[in-house]
Amino acid sequence: MDARRLKGLRRELDTFVSSFAPCIKTGPSRRHFRTYVRGQVSDLPRKNVAAIALDAGVPPRTLQEFVGLHLWDHLGARDELQRQVMVRHPDPHAIADIDETSFVKKGEKTAGVKRQYCGATGKIDNCVVTVHLGYVAKDFHALLDGDLYLPEDWLADRDRCREAGIPDNVVFRTKWRIALDLLDHALGNGVRFTWLTADEHYGECGAFRDGVAERGLTYAVEVPCSLTGWTKRPRVVVPAKVGGGAGRPPCTPRLAWEAPAARPLKALWKRGGPRWKGFHIKDTQAGPVVWEARVVRFFPAAGGLPTEPVWLIVARNVLDEEVKYFYSNAPQDTPPEVLLHVAFSRCHIEQLFEESKGEVGLDHFEMRQYLALRRHLVLSMVSLLFLEEQTERLRGEKSVVEPCGRA
């Protein structure tokens, strides 16, 4: 946000920040909270602790201590953010958006840092990964929560964890497990979703999809083309018991199931198949984005056996012929355009990451400690919510951020 616009919104910013005061007991910490958020929504080119502090005339060490040492309830601030989103942006068709983002880091001291796949560089790199929950309601979107992914080898080294400030009671969680925990916490805070979408890293996990369904949500998640299954429920045969021979009782063999071989998604229709139908996905500066789609009932394979049927959506970009595959547990009478709208709503959380890094400095942190990193995530979500709401309010002017297109 440019300096002129920020100055004009100073009163709105102070009112917004003051709503988080119950989570921060002391006056100095409340002032530091305001300083940090004000710095994140400013036009500073670099929004790390030192730059924000110096711009505000505050000793950098003081602001560092606020983020990493002061006693204030960052999780309570996260809960207050979720409450505010539900009060001001309720939607009976809200979509939960699950995704992760990464931050390139040098050295080995930052909590969770490791050579792993880094989306920021598109390769294996030394980085930190965080998992996030986004909220999509019509043209409004916000980040509701985020948590640090801690690799197994980190948590196996308790001395290293203690040096980075990771409590002894923190245990290893897969990324999809973190995602379900974020979802559980938001639901417990009264956040209401109808739908959920996620990329193929989460969509390919049957336990994740089952967990989403158990929580009463309808998903439309991307899946890799290597997953297998059937477009018609296969006939499954249980072999009869085999006799034990003369004078011996029949033996009970291990259950053996026989079914036609499941086929990979990418090999389902080498020729023919359901008719392709065109759908308008969104509008961009380059023009409308149109994909063709096939939507059929499908029986995913698990352990060589068919599971409950889902929708299989195969979508193909009409310009470059990129193909994406999605599963959905939506009811059978759900229109295909609704499934595609939800499936392609992942663009919202991708845009939120872009805005978080470009507008509020989500990736500018230089702290190494676990608590400081988690607090930085919360502060960044608070700052981004202010920008999103002001963008919505000032929609008639040039937006601070551009809205993501809808299907």
Tally of domains within the chain: 1
Quick check: is 406 in a domain?
Answer: no
Name the pLDDT band for 394 (thresholds 50, 70, 90): confident
Rounded to two decimals, what is the model's pTM? 0.90
| Contact yes or no for 182/78 (Cβ under 8 A) | no
CA–CA distance, 377 with 148 (Å, rounded to integer): 9
- Contacts made by residues 45-48, CB under 8 angstroms, sequence distance 24+: 46/361, 46/364, 47/360, 47/361, 47/364, 48/361, 48/364, 48/365, 48/366
Quick check: is 361 in a domain?
Answer: no
CA–CA distance, 238 with 255 (Å, rounded to integer): 7
Quick check: is 31 in a domain?
Answer: yes
Average pLDDT over residues 307-318: 95
Q: Tell me how far apart the 2 most distant CA atoms of the chain are, in Å.
A: 96
pLDDT digits (tens, 9 = 90+) for 319-357: 899 999 999 999 999 999 999 999 999 999 999 999 999
Quick check: is 10 in a domain?
Answer: yes
> What is the per-residue pLDDT for 402?
41
Quick check: is 54 in a domain?
Answer: yes
pLDDT digits (tens, 9 = 90+) for 150-171: 999 999 999 999 999 999 999 9
Structure tokens at 399: 């937006």
Name the pLDDT band for 399 (thresholds 50, 70, 90): very low
> What is the per-residue pLDDT for 139?
84
Average pLDDT over residues 77-85: 98
Residue 235 Cα distances to 228, 238, 242, 306, angstroms: 16, 10, 21, 9
Work out the angle at residue 327's Cα, subtended by the Cα atoms of residues 310 and 266, and round it to the nearest 5 degrees.
110
Quick check: is 59 in a domain?
Answer: yes
Structural domain harbouring 46: 1-72
pLDDT digits (tens, 9 = 90+) for 97-143: 999 999 999 999 999 999 999 999 999 999 999 999 999 998 899 99
Name the pLDDT band for 238 (thresholds 50, 70, 90): low
Structure tokens at 398: 């040039």
Quick check: is 118 in a domain?
Answer: no
> What is the per-residue pLDDT for 397?
45
| Contact yes or no for 211/164 (Cβ under 8 A) | no
Quick check: is 13 in a domain?
Answer: yes
251: pLDDT strictly greater than 90: no
In the chain, the amino acid numbered 113 is V
Work out the percent of the chain whose per-residue pLDDT is above 70: 89
Q: Scan for tokens 């958020």, then name that residue.
A: 37
CA–CA distance, 164 with 166 (Å, rounded to integer): 6
Structure tokens at 275: 């008719």
- Contacts made by residues 25-33, CB under 8 angstroms, sequence distance 24+: 25/71, 25/72, 26/70, 26/72, 28/66, 29/66, 29/70, 29/71, 29/72, 32/58, 32/62, 32/63, 32/66, 32/70, 33/66, 33/72, 33/379
pLDDT digits (tens, 9 = 90+) for 264-306: 999 998 778 889 999 988 877 777 888 999 999 999 999 889 9
Structure tokens at 112: 């969770």
> What is the per-residue pLDDT for 407?
43
Q: Scan for tokens 């931050």, then name that residue.
A: 103
401: number of Cβ within 10 Å: 18
Rg (CA), the chain: 25
pLDDT digits (tens, 9 = 90+) for 22-70: 999 999 999 999 999 999 999 999 999 999 999 999 999 999 999 999 9
Q: Is 388 left (phi over 0), alpha (psi -120 to 50) or beta?
A: alpha
| Element at 181 (helix H, strand E) | helix 175-188
Name the pLDDT band for 246 (thresholds 50, 70, 90): low
Average pLDDT, the chain: 91
